[in-house]
Amino acid sequence: MLEIIFLMACVTFTTRFLFLSKRLPFSIGPKMQRFLSFSAPCVLTAIWVPIVFVQKGKLAISLDNPYLIAAGVAVLLAYRFKNLYVTTAVSLVVFFLLKL
């Protein structure tokens, strides 16, 4: 098991090093840079959507869902303040208060 983790860490490091190293005579074109700029939002969306909208294996779109309410608060705070710390802190407090 540790060997697999080590090998996957090596693969991840190597692929990122090849793209990000300034010493290598390799550069990504503007179209590929634009294409790759969408990867982080896609991965984050794939992580948070099931957490927020699926509870106990079923779609949970109601006011009884604290994840949905806290996510809504986070969206509004992010839009209003454009501050990562305010958004994170306040939405976490809202979530924990709803979970009580």
Q: What is the spatial distance between Cα 82 and Cα 80, in angstroms, rounded to a whole number?
A: 6
Task: Name the pTM for this structure.
Answer: 0.68
**Residues 58, 64, 66, 71: is their CA dihedral positive or negative?**
positive
Q: What is the spatial distance between Cα 37 and Cα 15, in angstroms, rounded to a whole number?
A: 16
Question: Tens digits of per-residue pLDDT, 45-99?
Answer: 999 999 999 999 999 999 999 999 999 999 999 999 999 999 999 999 999 999 9
Question: Tens digits of per-residue pLDDT, 40-52?
Answer: 999 999 999 999 9
What is residue 3's predicted lDDT score, i.e. its pLDDT? 94
Q: What is the spatial distance between Cα 48 and Cα 53, in angstroms, rounded to a whole number?
A: 8
Confidence of residue 22 (pLDDT cuts 50, 70, 90): confident
